[in-house]
Amino acid sequence: MRTLIHLREQRGLKVDAIRAIHAKAATENRDLTDTEQSAFDTGKGEVERLEREIRNHEFLADAERRAEAEPVTERGGGMADLEARFSASKALAEFTDTGRLTGAEAEWAAEHRSGRPGAIAMPTSVFLGERRALLTTNPVAGPGGNLVPTNQGALIDRVRPTLVTESLGATVLQGLTGNLDLPRVKDSGQAFWVPEHGNVQRSDMKFDKVSMGPKTVGAEYEVSRRMLLQATALEPILRADISFLLRQALDAAAIKGGGANEPVGILATPGLTVLPLGTNGGVLSIDTAADMIAAIDDDADGSRGFLITKQIRTAALKQKDGQGQPYGLGTVFSGEQVRVSKAMPSNGTKGTGTNLSAAIYGIWSDLVIGYWSAVDIVPNPYHSDVASKGGLLLHAFLDADVASRHIENFVAVTDAKTA
């Protein structure tokens, strides 16, 4: 059965197709050919059919909400209110027992994308926390076609920090559907001084793009029958467990993902500036931190900060001045914000030997994290591992990707000595 989101996507594709037919003829200053007119009429009919189906789905969804859902207008209404009231344990219990959802859970799921049939679409904020708000506008078309996105997904207007990379200021895009191209200026034009009544020399901007597409991260664990019966205990356990698994995977991918099935992280992105600390590494000192800061263009704007390992933090806390007094993290890192993550490479993971850690400094708003789905929870009570015990297996899926818009706005060290 096609969902409302799928129908809307199909309508958009059909409209784009017939718009392209009309635009081609208009560009060439001619009428449509018989073949083009036939294709236009066929596309128009398909759009009208899809619009009828969309109206039918919207009517049924609205009727079902009026019949089953709790009223939300008295609490302020809107998707933010539904998301705040969404209960993972209630949704799981209802769906496992009846195959349906009611109340706020049904309303939220009806409006959001589920990556697979038979899954419960749950808000990412239930598991990953609230994220900071960020709105973007569509780029203006320009030379080379790189300013035209493959698909510009709708952005949610309610996002606040949760992942370490997000808390540093990463740009978050929610509700994406098709693949996404992020256009960027590769080279600017040039200004020239000219004599009185002289001609200005022409120059051109150059554009390229960073492409993103959904990549799936999944987790699975077993829930006992007794835990299912204790609904009040299930909610925090669900949140804590799945939050940890997805947080860990997404943060690690944003930092050091190698591509293929996972996103390409900062440390694996071609063009990253890596400052050397010597053959056997060296302590990440005040001077090294200053060099990392200086490696980023002062004119570049955005949220800056350091991402380090706990080993580097410990080593930095032990650094002392000539009188034996500790400098403190604020002094070592020149007052910049500092975050610590276990996902950062340490103990030879990225360096040349043991007890070597990586650190990243950059403009974190140039790191883009895109979400193509809600957190999809698929309950499976029929697997042989749980069927005879009365429990179920929970499969969690999230579709996301990561991209660095300007890798030149990041700098790293990969062999900082910590012992």
Amino acid at 385: D
> Assign residue 375 a region: left if phi > 0, alpha if psi is -120 to 50, beta otherwise?
beta
SS3 285: coil
Q: What is the rounded distance in angstroms from the CA atom of residue 298 to the CA atom of residue 169?
A: 18
Render 218-265 in DSSP notation, one character per residue. EEEEEE-HHHHH-HHHHHHHHHHHHHHHHHHHHHHHHHH-BSTTS-B-
Which DSSP state fits 320? B
Q: Tell me the CATH number of domain 122-185+205-419, given options 3.40.50, 2.40.10, 3.90.1690, 1.10.10.
A: 3.90.1690
Task: List, in sequence order, every residue forming a beta bridge with 307; answer none if it has no partner.
Answer: 339, 360
Q: Is the pTM of this model over 0.95?
A: no
CA dist 232 and 314 (Å) reads 39
Q: Please tell me the predicted confidence (pLDDT) of residue 68.
A: 44
Question: Residue 151's closest CA among 194, 205, 213?
Answer: 213
* pLDDT at residue 377, rounded to an integer: 82
For each of the chain's 419 residues, which pLDDT tens digit applies?
566 666 776 887 888 888 888 888 888 888 889 888 999 999 899 988 888 887 887 677 666 545 444 444 444 456 677 777 888 778 877 777 677 788 888 887 777 766 566 677 788 777 676 443 333 333 433 444 443 444 444 333 333 335 788 888 888 888 787 888 876 655 556 776 778 777 777 666 666 677 888 888 888 878 888 777 765 666 667 777 777 788 788 889 999 988 888 999 999 999 999 988 765 567 888 999 999 999 998 777 888 999 999 889 998 999 888 888 888 989 999 999 999 988 888 865 454 457 788 999 999 999 999 988 888 888 888 888 888 888 888 888 888 999 998 899 999 998 887 76
* Contact residues for 289 (Cβ-Cβ < 8 A; gap 6+): 306, 332, 333, 334, 336, 361
Terminal Cα distance for the chain, rounded: 59
Residues 113, 115, 116, 122, CA torsion sign: negative
Question: Which regions of the chain carry the CATH code 3.90.1690?
Answer: 122-185+205-419
Contact 159, 130 (CB under 8 A): yes
Cβ atoms of 372 and 237 within 8 Å: the answer is no
The answer to whether 280 and 348 are in contact (CB under 8 A) is no
**Per-residue pLDDT, 391:** 83
Query: Under a CB-based contact definition with an 8 Å cutoff, are residues 177 and 11 in contact?
Result: no
Confidence at residue 63, expressed as pLDDT on a 0 to 100 scale:
62
What integer pLDDT is reported at residue 115 of this predicted model? 55
DSSP state of 417: E
